[in-house]
Structure 1
Amino acid sequence: MANLIVQSAVKEQLDQMNVSADFYDSLDDEVADLLADAARRAEDNDRKTVQSRDL
């Protein structure tokens, strides 16, 4: 699976929180699902461009 997130950016966003290694894998899976759903919505609306409204 491709890494869709940047771990250093996540860590920076979470500031003072510790982040477990498995969190990144779960977050990556969630992002992949979100992207797949957005792509499906765009296709369902006969578009090849994914837009913010597809989220």
Structure 2
Amino acid sequence: MADLIVKAAVKEALQDKNVASDFYDALDEEVDELLEDAARRAEQNDRKTVQPRDL
């Protein structure tokens, strides 16, 4: 699986918080699932375009 998140951006968004190294993998998996669900919903609605409402 390709990395879907940018570690530096996550770290910046969390500002002064420490981030465990395995957090990035877990977040990447969550994003992957979210994208798969959105693609599935678009397909169920006979669309090839994933839209915000698919989230």
Q: TM-score, normalised by structure 1?
A: 0.99
- Percentage of pairs with the same residue: 71
Count of residue correspondences: 55
SS at 1:47's partner residue? coil
In structure 2, distance between residues paired with 1:20 and 1:32: 19
Q: Which residue of 2 aligns with 1:50?
A: 50
CA distance in 1 between counterparts of 2:45 and 2:21 reads: 37
Superposition RMSD in Å: 0.3
* Counterpart Cα distance in 1 of 2:7 and 2:28: 10
Query: Which residue pairs with 1:14 in the alignment?
Result: 14
The ranges of structure 1 where at least 4 consecutive aligned residues each deviate by more than 6 angstroms after the TM superposition are none
Shift of 1:48: 0.1
TM-score scaled to structure 2, two decimals?
0.99
